[in-house]
Structure 1
Amino acid sequence: MADLSSNAPANQFRIAVKKQKVWLASALILLVTALLAPDQATESLGFVAKSLTQTGPYLLLSIGIAAWAVATGADNLIARAFTGSPALMIFLAALAGGLSPFCSCGVIPLIAALLTMGVPLSAVMAFWLASPVMDPSMFFLTSGVLGFEFAIAKTLAAIGLGMAGGFIVLALAGTHVLHDALRDGVGNGGCGAAKIRSPKPVVWRFWEQSERVEKFGKEAVKTTLFLAQWLTLAFLLESLMLAYVPAETITSILGGTGIGPIAIATVVGVPAYLNGYAALPLISGLMEQGMASGAGLAFLVAGGVTSLPAAIAVWALVKPRVFALYIGISLGGAFLIGLAYQGWTLL
């Protein structure tokens, strides 16, 4: 029998590399830049440091909110969104999706629980569509990078997209598209089901319980490391984009007030969207070079909803035709949201 222990160092190395892949990507980009253009590498480092400093207050607020949500158990409030009439459930689910602190991966067991417990697909779709676009931490970071007005617009876009998707699904209820929507073998929701079946009370004064204080600390460290690595990479890429991508190119493709730039941004957002936090500085840089604000919002909405973690959450639980409906609503909604925001900014 093979000695598995001999592979332990190699396995540990692979795990370490996987955990640090974002930092390694930043280091590799900076190394290549230093070899090819030493002056630009220095400028990029300064740009990253300055950008992180400027967004520091928003980062601290975002980290605090994320840690607070875990320590208090505020995510248990989500269960209250899925009671009442179908229309009320859609509204509350979209609102909860746009304001809840769930990440795309963390929402998977919760969604599984909702579907297998018989919660209408219309309400689940509303939550699904809104959740990846905005959360409290994202709101404050968006305010810091793109401005408070843009953050409000993105929040309204998340809630509006969720509601639109929910009512579209409600209108299609009973049709072939939504018949037998779940994949075979979808379980009982795993650990996420407990939050729906028997939600626990929120402990607002979490600092009075040592285990919750420990949760707060662990989540704060986890969120800090997560945001630091992605924002460092994003600001580094932004510095290179500002240095080497001609502003007139961006303006010609994604600038202006027509529907073309918004349509392009919607489609490009699907493959180009790396991460919700990393996308903010990139869009900021593009907008500084002439990208239309409506195109920027369309990119963030389309990319957020169709990002790999969010899309996997849907694909894993529903039939392909329902997944196709999800993608269609996502892209169509992002395009219309971009048009609406562009029109509003021109008033």
Structure 2
Amino acid sequence: MFQPNTFTAKGPLGFASHIWSEHRVGLAIVGILGLIFAVEPPQAVESTWFTIDALLSTAPFLVLSILMAAYASATGADGLIAKAFTGAPVVMIVAAAALGGLSPFCSCGVIPLIAALLAMGVPLAPVMAFWLASPVIDPSMFILTTGLLGFEFAVAKTLTAVGLGLFGGVVTHALTASGHFRDVLKPQARGGCCGAASLTAPKPVAWRFWTDPARRSTFAREAWGTTVFLVKWLALAFLLESLMLAYVPAAWISGALGGSGLAPIVTATFVGVPAYLNGYAALPLVSGLMEQGMVPGAGLTFLVAGGVTSLPAAIAVYALVRPRVFALYIALALSGSLASGLLYQLWLGSAG
């Protein structure tokens, strides 16, 4: 699931690029702490303990999410995704949106999986439904969201993921039915790694994976890789949260993203794109922002918009599909994210 990058470059520049690619999160943590120690040592100590304490408090949810991700990979349950893309268009859209909101695919696996689907001739509408829903939530993220932001918020995020997928799938189906978007992939875009293999050559699911040595090895490898991935990203996120709580004025947060009405949610829609780090890393950041006055609707919008349209994801999408499809993807993501935040805030207001 969380696979290291392949190192092929030669020489000092290639070595430096490899080190940065493999350890950029750890280097960022060390660099930030080093800078704070040089400028304000007491805050560096406080931020370090804040990060450690936050990781320990999140540990039960973290362990459960790691076990779920490793189990899905070891059993071969991720191969079930192939069954979502057969049948009538409406059925495919609904199934793809639901599986997108529930599937435990890693961020590196979404793009090659989408490439494989499109290369196999799967219609764009169900692919778009899965594409939009998948980055927003998965079982592991649901557990962590519950731990950091509460069960109600986690449910709202899950419903938003499925709803965004349905919205995108229906709109895309209507456009393709009218003759648009017949040519989707760029010529150089072809399938690749991670989830694509499960789709093109799905293996039988073995729920009792521990009886197979190869699957036990897969479980151990995935559990370790997921642990490293989550711990380093969460450590960076908690470190940034500590700095945000120390240096970002609560009045500024309340003014920019707090309050009521449309403005904070609209702001969160567009701020989420450049400010978003990672699906897991964003959770404690949003928790800190909400503690300082950001309305829940803006928090949901930030997570959804950032998850779907973050700069790394957007660059990967642009490299894969033609410009018109990319523009549709961005438009659906931003409009759906804005609508989800507004609806959630309206629901909170009526419920309150």
Q: Per the shorter chain, which TM-score range? A: over 0.9
Report if the CA contact (8 A) 1:66-1:137 is conserved: yes
Report if the CA contact (8 A) 1:71-1:213 is conserved: yes
Establish whether residue 290 from structure 1 lines up as the match of residue 283 from structure 2: no
- Residue in 2 that maps onto 1:256: 259
Report if the CA contact (8 A) 1:105-1:310 is conserved: no
Q: How many residues align?
A: 340
Deviation at 1:75, TM superposition (A): 0.7
Of 312-321 and 93-102, deviating more is 312-321
Establish whether residue 75 from structure 1 lines up as the match of residue 64 from structure 2: no
Task: Pick one of 320, 333, 337 that aligns with 2:340.
Answer: 337
Which whole-Å deviations, capped at 9, do the CAs of 1:63-91 have from their partners, x for residues lacking one?
11111111111111101111111111000
Task: Quote the Cα distance in structure 1 between the aligned partners of 2:288 and 2:148.
Answer: 10
TM value normalised by structure 1: 0.93
Question: Identity of counterpart residues, as a percentage?
Answer: 62
Amino acid at match of 1:102: F
1:97-112, aligned counterparts within 5 Å? 97-112=100-115
In structure 1, the residue corresponding to 2:137 is in which secondary structure?
Answer: coil
Report if the CA contact (8 A) 2:274-2:311 is conserved: no
Establish whether residue 156 from structure 1 lines up as the match of residue 159 from structure 2: yes
Task: Pick one of 146, 156, 176 that aligns with 1:173.
Answer: 176
Amino acid at match of 1:293: P
Task: Quote the Cα distance in structure 2 between the aligned partners of 1:28 and 1:186.
Answer: 36
In structure 2, the residue corresponding to 1:224 is in which secondary structure?
Answer: helix
In structure 2, the residue corresponding to 1:172 is in which secondary structure?
Answer: helix
Deviation at 1:313, TM superposition (A): 4.2
Contiguous gaps of at least 5 residues in structure 1: 1-6
Please, what is the CA RMSD of the aligned residues? Answer: 1.7
Task: Quote the Cα distance in structure 2 between the aligned partners of 1:281 and 1:291.
Answer: 13
Report if the CA contact (8 A) 2:86-2:92 is conserved: yes
Establish whether residue 143 from structure 1 lines up as the match of residue 146 from structure 2: yes
1:86-101, aligned counterparts within 5 Å? 86-101=89-104
- Residue in 1 that maps onto 2:6: none
In structure 1, the residue corresponding to 2:107 is in which secondary structure?
Answer: coil
Deviation at 1:141, TM superposition (A): 0.9
Task: Quote the Cα distance in structure 2 between the aligned partners of 1:99 and 1:127.
Answer: 10
Which whole-Å deviations, capped at 9, do the CAs of 1:128-180 have from their partners, x for residues lacking one?
00011111111111111111111111111111000000000111124454232
TM value normalised by structure 2: 0.92
Task: Quote the Cα distance in structure 1 between the aligned partners of 2:276 and 2:47.
Answer: 21
- Residue in 2 that maps onto 1:182: 185
Task: Quote the Cα distance in structure 1 between the aligned partners of 2:145 and 2:99.
Answer: 19
Establish whether residue 236 from structure 1 lines up as the match of residue 239 from structure 2: yes
Deviation at 1:312, TM superposition (A): 3.7
Report if the CA contact (8 A) 2:273-2:311 is conserved: no
Establish whether residue 115 from structure 1 lines up as the match of residue 104 from structure 2: no
Task: Pick one of 22, 27, 31 that aligns with 1:24.
Answer: 27
In structure 2, the residue corresponding to 1:178 is in which secondary structure?
Answer: coil
CA, structure 1 residues 138+178, in 2 after alignment: closer, same or farther (shift >3 Å)? same
Which whole-Å deviations, capped at 9, do the CAs of 1:221-267 have from their partners, x for residues lacking one?
11111111111111011111111111111001111121000000000
- Residue in 2 that maps onto 1:124: 127
